């Protein structure tokens, strides 16, 4: 069988190296490495074991939620309620344990709460046709308000008989001195990566984000999958809330404020396309890592922390521009 000129060109332009150089995740990773090298020489405290421990631990909360957000973005949706869901789940955990119930009951209540919020969002979006932006923006306000009502807008810092177990869950380092939140993040990233890469559910997500109408025609249960994805997004926020409660040792109704923007930024910087059909688990982790390194470096370099939003916003614009250039080149 003869090979045409077009086929030869296609093969050469899709070599592993070419695909790597076209990958947004690769270039974000290069930026992280470059930033780490620069900061190691520019400051005395960046490369210390204590600072690295803090960076890896702090990045986990954004990264865990970004894993769920990436799945939402892949189907062409958005979830603005994750910060408030984190707050509500954390508060339900704290209130339940403060009332004298054990850690397992508290975690169950927190997870059920987050799943219920996600199901509510998903049903309105998938079955009633409400815009994801409107639904999740409304839930952003509702969930935090419910957290205030449940706690009477007070700080909860006593967690009953299992107080020490909760703090160890979120603040311990059970394996090789690695912070527990990092271990949870890695485990969840492996699970999400496996789902996206190797399961029918994952393929359906990309199909819906690529062309929802075509996915419906091929028999993909689009509505059920949308509900499931918004439940997963809320669940990821609930899990992050449980871990963060154990790490902080207290819960306030301000926890998670503005986190939805960081999470969306992490997903987009990590290669997820806001038009749908593109996104990876590793991209979510790398995007979250870049955001945390930016936050950490501002303080070390003596730069006003108010610049954090400008740097993160700039990274989002660059990421979207990168995606736009890639789309234009692929259409040529």
Which of 5-9, 54-58, 133-137, 302-306 is predicted least confidently? 5-9
Question: Is 186 among the domain residues?
Answer: yes
- The whole-chain average pLDDT of the chain stands at 90
User: What pLDDT does 217 receive?
Assistant: 94
Considering the entire predicted model, what is its pTM?
Answer: 0.91
Question: Is 155 among the domain residues?
Answer: yes
Residue whose token pair is 């332009």: 13
Give the structural domain span for 191.
51-331
Question: Is 40 among the domain residues?
Answer: no
Cβ neighbourhood burial of 279 (10 Å; 0-12, 13-18, 19+) = buried
C-alpha to C-alpha distance for 172 and 195, rounded to whole angstroms: 28
Question: Is 86 among the domain residues?
Answer: yes
Question: Is 23 among the domain residues?
Answer: no
- Count: domains in the chain: 1
Question: Is 41 among the domain residues?
Answer: no
Tell me how crowded residue 89 is: count the other CB atoms within 10 A of its CB.
33
Question: Is 110 among the domain residues?
Answer: yes
CATH, residue 297: 1.10.3470
- Band of the pLDDT at 332, cuts 50, 70, 90? low
Question: Is 320 among the domain residues?
Answer: yes
Which of 120-134, 231-245, 249-263 is predicted least confidently? 249-263
- Band of the pLDDT at 330, cuts 50, 70, 90? low
């Amino acid at each position: 069988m003869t090979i045409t000129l077009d086929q030869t060109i296609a093969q050469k332009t899709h070599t592993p190296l070419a695909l790597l150089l076209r990958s947004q995740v690769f270039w974000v990773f290069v930026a992280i490495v470059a930033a780490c090298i620069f900061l190691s020489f520019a400051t005395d405290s960046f490369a210390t074991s204590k600072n690295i421990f803090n960076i890896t631990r702090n990045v986990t909360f954004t990264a865990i939620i970004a894993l769920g957000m990436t799945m939402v973005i892949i189907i062409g949706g958005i979830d603005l309620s994750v910060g408030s869901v984190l707050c509500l789940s954390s508060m339900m955990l704290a209130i339940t344990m403060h009332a004298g119930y054990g850690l397992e009951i508290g975690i169950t209540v927190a997870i059920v709460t987050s799943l219920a919020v996600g199901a509510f969002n998903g049903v309105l979006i998938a079955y009633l046709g409400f815009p994801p932006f409107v639904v999740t923006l409304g839930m952003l306000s509702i969930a935090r308000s419910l957290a205030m009502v449940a706690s009477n807008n007070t700080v909860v810092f006593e967690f009953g008989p299992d107080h020490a177990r909760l703090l160890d869950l979120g603040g311990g380092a059970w394996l090789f001195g690695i912070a527990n939140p990092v271990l949870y993040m890695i485990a969840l990233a492996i699970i999400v990566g496996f789902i996206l890469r190797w399961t029918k559910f994952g393929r359906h997500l990309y199909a819906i984000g690529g062309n929802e109408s075509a996915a419906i025609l091929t028999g993909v249960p689009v509505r059920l999958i949308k509900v499931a994805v918004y439940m997963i997004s809320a669940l990821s926020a609930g899990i992050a809330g449980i871990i963060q409660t154990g790490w902080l040792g207290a819960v306030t109704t301000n926890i998670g404020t503005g986190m939805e923007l960081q999470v969306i930024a992490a997903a987009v910087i990590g290669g997820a396309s806001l038009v749908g059909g593109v996104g990876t688990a590793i991209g979510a982790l790398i995007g979250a890592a870049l955001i945390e390194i930016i936050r950490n470096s501002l303080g070390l370099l003596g730069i006003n922390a108010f610049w954090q939003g400008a740097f993160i916003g700039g990274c989002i614009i660059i990421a979207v521009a990168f995606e736009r250039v890639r789309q234009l080149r692929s259409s040529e």
